[in-house]
């Protein structure tokens, strides 16, 4: 992704820093320094970003007031806890513009939501996204939930990207909040404030 599909989310109470493209996790900015400038900070990670957020923020979770995983696990490419390995390999092998649109529809699972998403789809090339997926296939190793930085896991009832059941098998039941929706559930909310309120943060 990039920031475009989430541009409808406004915020009254938060400054928002978005991180995307997990081909490499090194950042040109000092995230810890930015976080220290705020009284409260929240980490909201989605999909593959749940795994990436674990890598980036594991050493500074004491600076985070809220730590929320949405439709993702710390084993993002895994037959039991993430996207089945065969599915990721097949996606990578056949990834082109047609397959990309099919993937976007699988994320939304609703024609009206899909149309809205397409109007705000990421401005990234197929080659760029394919390279990112290739790198993730090599680097996205499993982390146990016992080491998770996350204190809350939001799981959509109809996730056809990272299967709902796989997410439920990964996260401890006590931190899970199940919600209606598909993998891309953000059009159910108009602001980051409402999204955080939904999580119980």
What pLDDT, in 10s, does the model give residues 170-180?
Answer: 999 999 999 99
Question: DSSP state, 79?
Answer: T
Please give the backbone phi and psi of residue 120, each rounded to the nearest 5 degrees, phi first.
Answer: -125, 30
Q: Which domains does the chain have, with CATH numbers?
A: 4-199 (3.40.50.1820)
Mean pLDDT across 171-191? 97
Work out the pLDDT band at 27, boundaries 50, 70, 90. Answer: confident
Integer CA distances (angstroms), 63 to 34, 37, 136, 150, in order: 11, 10, 27, 13
Name the pairing type of β-strands 66-70 and 152-156. parallel
pLDDT in tens, 122-142: 999 999 999 999 999 999 999
Summarised one tens digit per residue, pLDDT across range 50-71 is: 999 999 999 898 999 999 999 9
The mean per-residue pLDDT over the stretch 38-51 comes to: 97
Cα–Cα distance between 142 and 198 in angstroms, integer? Answer: 28
> Please, which pLDDT band fits residue 108 given cuts at 50, 70 and 90?
very high
């Amino acid at each position: 992704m990039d920031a475009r599909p989430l541009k409808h989310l406004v915020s009254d109470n938060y400054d928002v820093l978005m991180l995307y493209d997990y081909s490499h996790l090194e950042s040109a900015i000092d995230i810890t320094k930015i976080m220290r400038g705020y009284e409260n900070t929240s980490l909201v990670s989605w999909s593959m970003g749940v795994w990436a957020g674990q890598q980036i923020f594991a050493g500074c979770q004491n600076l985070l007031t809220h730590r929320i995983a949405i439709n993702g696990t710390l084993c993002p490419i895994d037959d039991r806890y993430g996207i089945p390995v065969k599915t990721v390999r097949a996606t990578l092998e056949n990834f082109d513009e047609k397959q990309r649109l099919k993937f976007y529809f699988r994320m939304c699972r609703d024609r009206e939501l899909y149309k809205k998403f397409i109007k705000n789809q990421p401005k990234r090339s197929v080659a760029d996204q394919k390279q990112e997926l290739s790198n993730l296939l090599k680097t996205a190793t499993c982390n146990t939930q016992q080491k998770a930085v996350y204190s809350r896991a939001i799981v959509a009832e109809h996730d056809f990207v990272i299967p709902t059941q796989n997410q439920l098998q990964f996260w401890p039941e006590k931190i899970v909040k199940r919600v209606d929706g598909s993998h891309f559930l953000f059009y159910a909310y108009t602001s980051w404030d409402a999204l955080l309120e939904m999580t119980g943060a």
